[in-house]
Amino acid sequence: MQRQTICIALLAVLVFPNTASAKDCERDNLETCESECSGGSAIACHLLGEDLARKATSFEVKAGKATSVIDDTLMASAKRFFAKGCEGEFTWSCYKLAILEHKKRGMWRNKGLRVDRRLCMQEKQAWACSRMALVYNEGKVVKRSPRRAARLFDRACNGGEKAACAHLGVMLLDGDGRPRNISAGVERLETGCSEGIDWSCLRLGTDYQKGNVLEKNLDSAERLLRSACERDHQESCVVLGVFLDRESRGGGSKEASELFSSTCANDVQSGCVNLGDLYESGRGLRKDEKRAAALFETACNRFVGGCVRIGRMYQDGRGVSKSPTKARSYFQLGCSNQDPNACFHLALAQKNGMGGSASPKEAARRFRSQCQGGRALSCQILADLHRDGSGVAKNLHERRRLLRRACSLGRNQACDLK
């Protein structure tokens, strides 16, 4: 699992100090938040800001181009609530404003860090140490510093912050900020899972499933993933479904379809995409490409996920009427929201002129970026563009260099080309 996902999952566990807590205001029940915010609850103000910021951002496709659309009025209201949260020393609001307001980034960032540093170092508040550790570990508003993050997680752990102990376990497992210590990392994550820290179960379960960091152990993987899913951790339920489907364990694809259906109904886009995959392939469900396309389209339009899948279906005319223009639009939408697979398919469309005019220079730029990021096939395609002088200067020396890189990245076909 990605570090960023872990940080988000930790938010409710780590950083809601009792001194600023809301009585009845919750993410799933915002009706009481406004009055509680007016009454001085910094967390209530923050939750209102989160809700408004989410509603202020939407996506639309026009003339084959995808753009994010910001409702300035709603976003301004969101910022006002974040400012109230920050004034009340709920520093996630300060950090949120540091991301949203580039011109005042330093002011909001420094205000948050000053408060957290005081609470952590002077007032010995373990949750504040954890919160500051997340900021340094995530690296969104400050330069990432894994060593500093590890020290702060250690301090918070010693102060009784259980989730911080688990997060330190991740760093020990990865050798990130601390020398790698697999046994200590596993112990901390197992303890975190048993204490109800669901992302801890998810992280350790996926490691056992993949067998990269740890020796592959499917029994342990299933035990950990089921533990978190049974506590209604939606992401773990999706990963459990993928695990059961791929490894043919438990109820296999049929049980996976039930997990995906449940999570999709709870607006978890990865659940919708995986459910669509089962409908598309006919695993565990009767094959239904129209239903698959509808799920992919919903996931892409509502959550900016599944854009590649619905784009491919429009490209091939499966489950929907064939439309290269719509396919390219969905690839553009996914790419504009940082999906590397969508960027790859968009580059192919730009190279070949699918669904619009050919744009070899833009295609070459995207392939170069993906090649630098480690996508072997993009290196090989860029090599072909240098051979032909399409979108880039004809350069056989650069072509050979790119083919060697593609080969080193595992693209065996490129190893035989000259």
Q: Distance from CA of residue 278 to its chain's centroid?
A: 22
d(CA 383, CA 400): 7
Q: State the angle between helix axes of 396-408 and 376-388 in degrees (0 to 180), rounded to the nearest 10.
A: 170
d(CA 380, CA 308): 21
Please name the residues in contact with 265: beta carbons below 8 A apart, sequence gap of 6 or more: none
Task: Please tell me the total count of domains within the chain.
Answer: 2
Please provide the DSSP assignment of 152-204 as one string.
HHHHHHHTT-HHHHHHHHHHHHHTSSS---HHHHHHHHHHHHHTT-HHHHHHH
The helices-and-strands tally (H runs, E runs) of the chain is 23, 2
Residue 197 lies in a domain: no
Place of tokens 């140490």: 129
| Least trusted range by pLDDT, from 62-66, 125-129, 242-246, 327-331 | 62-66
| Domain final residue, candidates 124, 153, 172 | 124
Using CA atoms, how far residue 260 sits from 265, 266, 283, 292, in Å, is 8, 10, 13, 13
Residue 198 lies in a domain: no
- pLDDT at residue 12 above 60? no
Residue 106 lies in a domain: yes
Beta bridge partners of 60: 67
| Domain final residue, candidates 68, 103, 124 | 124
| Domain final residue, candidates 83, 102, 124 | 124
Q: What is the CATH number of the domain that holds 378?
A: 1.25.40.10
Residue 325 lies in a domain: no
Contact indicator for 270, 305 with CB cutoff of 8 Å: yes
Banded model confidence at residue 187, pLDDT cuts 50, 70, 90: very high
Mean pLDDT of 157-179: 96
Q: Whole domain around residue 44: which residue ranges?
A: 18-124
Residue 138 lies in a domain: no
Token code pair at residue 406:
């593609």
Mean pLDDT of 6-28: 48
pLDDT of residue 24: 63
Phi, psi of 391 (to 5 degrees): 80, -15
Residue 343 lies in a domain: no
Residue 107 lies in a domain: yes
Tell me the pLDDT tens digit for each residue of 67-87.
668 899 999 999 999 999 999
Residue 267 lies in a domain: no
Mean pLDDT of 153-161: 96
pLDDT > 90 in the chain, percent:
80
Please state the pTM of the whole predicted model: 0.81
Residue 327's closest CA among 390, 287, 318? 318
Banded model confidence at residue 213, pLDDT cuts 50, 70, 90: confident
Burial of 354 (0-12, 13-18, 19+ CB in 10 A): middle
- pLDDT at residue 7 above 70? no
Token code pair at residue 226:
């089921």
- pLDDT at residue 3 above 50? no
